[in-house]
Structure 1
Amino acid sequence: MVKFNIEPVNEENTFGQDEIIVSKTDLKGRITYVNDTFCKVAELDERDVLGEPHSIIRHPDMPRSVFQLLWETIQHKKEIFAYVKNISRSGKYYWVLAHVTPTLGKDGNVIGYHSNRRSVSANEVKKVDSLYKEIAAVERQHENRKEGMLAGSKFLVEKAVKNATSYDEFIWSVGA
Structure 2
Amino acid sequence: MAKYAVAPTGRARTFGENEIIVSKTDLKGRITYANDVFLKVADFTESEVLGQPHSIVRHPDMPRAVFKLLWDVVEAKREIFAYVKNMAKGGDHYWVFAHVTPSLNARGEIVGYHSNRRSPTDAQVAAIEPIYEALLAEEKRHANAKDGLAASRRLLEDTIAKTGMPYEEFIFAL
TM score, norm. by length of structure 1: 0.97
Q: Hey, what does 1:93 align to over in structure 2?
A: 93
Percent identity reads 52
Distance 2:80 2:3 in 1: 29
Within a 5 Å distance, the mapping from 1:140-155 to structure 2 comes to: 140-155=140-155
Deviation at 1:127, TM superposition (A): 0.2
Q: Hey, what does 1:23 align to over in structure 2?
A: 23
Distance 1:94 1:163 in 2: 27
**Secondary structure at the residue paired with 1:116?**
strand
Q: Hey, what does 2:53 align to over in structure 1?
A: 53
Distance 1:68 1:86 in 2: 16
Distance 2:148 2:65 in 1: 8
- C-alpha contact 1:2 1:48 (8 A) present in aligned 2: no
Gaps of 5+ in 2: none
Give the count of matched residue pairs: 174
**Secondary structure at the residue paired with 2:19?**
coil
Distance 2:64 2:74 in 1: 16
Within a 5 Å distance, the mapping from 1:65-80 to structure 2 comes to: 65-80=65-80
**Secondary structure at the residue paired with 2:62?**
coil
40-49 or 141-150, which deviates more:
141-150
Distance 1:160 1:116 in 2: 24
Within a 5 Å distance, the mapping from 1:32-43 to structure 2 comes to: 32-43=32-43
Q: Match for 2:8: what amino acid? A: P
Deviation at 1:168, TM superposition (A): 1.6
Deviation at 1:2, TM superposition (A): 3.9
Gaps of 5+ in 1: none
Q: Deviations over 1:36-68 (max 9, x none)?
A: 000000000010011110001010000000000
Q: Match for 1:112: what amino acid? A: G
Q: Match for 2:96: what amino acid? A: V
- C-alpha contact 1:157 1:166 (8 A) present in aligned 2: no
- C-alpha contact 1:78 1:102 (8 A) present in aligned 2: yes
**Secondary structure at the residue paired with 2:8?**
coil
Deviation at 1:92, TM superposition (A): 0.4
Distance 1:108 1:45 in 2: 33
When the two chains are superposed, the root-mean-square deviation of aligned CA atoms in Å is 0.8
Distance 1:3 1:81 in 2: 26
Distance 1:88 1:120 in 2: 17
TM score, norm. by length of structure 2: 0.98
The 4+ residue runs of structure 1 with deviation greater than 3 A are none
**Secondary structure at the residue paired with 2:114?**
strand
Q: Hey, what does 1:113 align to over in structure 2?
A: 113
Q: Deviations over 1:120-148 (max 9, x none)?
A: 11111000001100111111111111211
